[in-house]
């Protein structure tokens, strides 16, 4: 298959490597020519995946022309950049070319997920899909066993792409709950920031386990209100990715939280963060969505206050721990 991956950051590069190893003809569309040149000439993306040797067959380019004859496009740019990228590339794209978003976020302005933004640009396209799940780019690039989930509305289509894109070390499960899979990937990043803060404060493993579990509970509440199936949250995109990013120090979101917990200011952290930590922006989008839909999200709200209202992590923690005691489970629709 002729494939293009748009976005030559760590995840775009790792996915392009997987697809190239599967035998597809892959173009990686980069924004900067030095990134494309390094991939083509040194077989490496030194800024985003240093030390990983890329397949000789994988080609990189900054020319949108390479999108013209592709049979599948993967979108792997930061969520808040997707709209601008689509505006600039739309003329090079077929209206019904199969597309997969591997982006984990929610647009701040519109409250839309990447899938919804793609639908806005390609309203006739019935071949839009979402890829999510626990998958650190570096581990995938090192061919360590990984399981992810591909979701789409057309079961036959999703099934065919599941077969076409899987490798023994990159196992793709399939789902029809696009909304759920996509919201899981976006919302878990805020909980990962919270887990990082907790670890940075030295609150221990009990606290982190409680954060993951109560975090899951609140992201299910919002997700279900927004049309997701609650069972999806117990799958790879939900619990799987929550566990990975809340416990793995390869996570950018967790790392931002950890540094906040250690007392650094967000402005200082942003200065040397050279990759996207989607949870920072998703926290803004979720603040608006949770208020609009009247969903209680104490952990996401706490992260928002630390990030944007300069409340100290210790003060936010004090407030979280003095919330009224309640029943563990509300009745949730399946």
Ligand X SMILES: O=C(CO)COP(=O)(O)O
Ligand Y SMILES: NC(=O)C1=CN([C@@H]2O[C@H](COP(=O)(O)OP(=O)(O)OC[C@H]3O[C@@H](n4cnc5c(N)ncnc54)[C@H](O)[C@@H]3O)[C@@H](O)[C@H]2O)C=CC1
User: Which active-site residues does the annotation give?
Assistant: 188
Does 104 sit near ligand X (CB under 6 A)? yes
For residue 295, say whether it is annotated as part of any ligand binding site.
no
Partner touching 192 among ligand Y, ligand X, none, CB below 5 to 8 Å by kind: ligand X
Q: Please tell me the distance from the alpha carbon of residue 317 to that of residue 320, in angstroms, as a whole number.
A: 5
Does 13 sit near ligand X (CB under 6 A)? no
Does 282 sit near ligand X (CB under 6 A)? no
> C-alpha angle with apex 159: 153 to 163, nearest 5 degrees?
145
3-class DSSP assignment, residue 74: strand
For residue 48, say whether it is annotated as part of any ligand binding site.
yes
- Hey, CA dihedral for 115, 290, 253, 87, is it positive or negative? positive
For residue 257, say whether it is annotated as part of any ligand binding site.
no
Segment contacting ligand Y by CB under 6 A, of 79-87, 168-176, 216-224, 228-236: 79-87
CB-neighbour burial class of residue 76 (10 A; exposed 0-12, middle 13-18, buried 19+): buried
* Site size toward ligand Y, by CB under 6 A: 25
For residue 104, say whether it is annotated as part of any ligand binding site.
yes
Q: How many CB atoms lie within 10 A of CB 328?
A: 7
Does 38 sit near ligand Y (CB under 6 A)? no
Q: Please tell me the distance from the alpha carbon of residue 236 to that of residue 186, in angstroms, as a whole number.
A: 13
Partner touching 8 among ligand Y, ligand X, none, CB below 5 to 8 Å by kind: ligand Y
Composition of the chain by helix, strand, coil, percent to 5: 50, 10, 35
Q: Which of 276, 286, 297, 307 binds ligand Y (CB under 6 A)?
A: 276
Does 135 sit near ligand X (CB under 6 A)? yes
For residue 10, say whether it is annotated as part of any ligand binding site.
yes
**CB 256 within 8 Å of CB 273:** yes
Residue 3 token pair: 């494939």
Does 165 sit near ligand Y (CB under 6 A)? no
Does 251 sit near ligand X (CB under 6 A)? yes
Count CA atoms within 13 Å of residue 179 on its CB side.
Answer: 12
Query: What residues line the site for ligand X (CB under 6 A)?
Result: 104, 134-136, 189, 192, 241, 244-245, 251-253, 278
Cite the annotated binding site for NAD(+) by residue number.
7-12, 137, 252
Query: What residues line the site for ligand Y (CB under 6 A)?
Result: 7-12, 31, 48, 76-79, 81, 84-85, 102-105, 135-137, 275-276, 278
């Amino acid at each position: 298959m002729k494939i293009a991956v748009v976005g030559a950051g760590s995840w775009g590069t790792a996915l392009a490597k997987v697809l190239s190893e599967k035998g597809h003809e892959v173009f990686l569309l980069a924004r900067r020519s030095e990134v494309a040149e390094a991939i083509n000439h040194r077989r490496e993306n030194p800024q985003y995946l240093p030390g990983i040797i890329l397949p000789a067959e994988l080609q990189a380019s900054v020319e949108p022309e390479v999108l013209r004859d592709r049979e599948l496009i993967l979108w792997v740019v930061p969520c808040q950049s997707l709209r601008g990228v689509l505006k600039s590339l739309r003329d090079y794209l077929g209206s019904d070319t199969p597309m997969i978003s591997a982006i984990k976020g929610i647009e701040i302005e519109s409250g839309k997920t990447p899938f919804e933004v793609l639908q806005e640009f390609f309203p006739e396209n019935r071949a839009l899909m979402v890829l999510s799940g626990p998958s650190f780019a570096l581990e995938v690039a090192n061919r360590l066993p990984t399981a992810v989930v591909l979701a789409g509305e057309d079961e036959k289509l999703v099934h065919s792409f599941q077969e076409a894109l899987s490798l023994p070390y990159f196992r793709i499960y399939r789902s029809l709950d696009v909304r759920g899979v996509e919201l899981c990937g976006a919302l878990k990043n805020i909980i990962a920031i919270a887990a990082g803060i907790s670890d940075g404060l030295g609150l221990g493993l009990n606290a982190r386990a409680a954060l993951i579990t109560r975090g899951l509970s609140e992201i299910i509440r919002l997700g279900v209100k927004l049309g997701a199936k609650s069972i999806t949250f117990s799958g790879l995109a939900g619990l799987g990715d929550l566990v990975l990013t809340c416990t793995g120090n390869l996570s950018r979101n967790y790392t931002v939280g950890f540094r906040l917990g250690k007392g650094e200011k967000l402005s200082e952290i942003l200065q040397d963060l050279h990759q996207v930590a989607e949870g920072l922006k998703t926290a803004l989008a979720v603040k608006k969505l949770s208020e609009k839909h009247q969903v209680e999200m104490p952990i996401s709200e706490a992260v928002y206050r630390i990030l944007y209202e300069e409340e100290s992590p210790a003060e936010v923690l004090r407030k979280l721990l003095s919330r009224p005691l309640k029943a563990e489970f509300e009745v949730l629709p399946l």
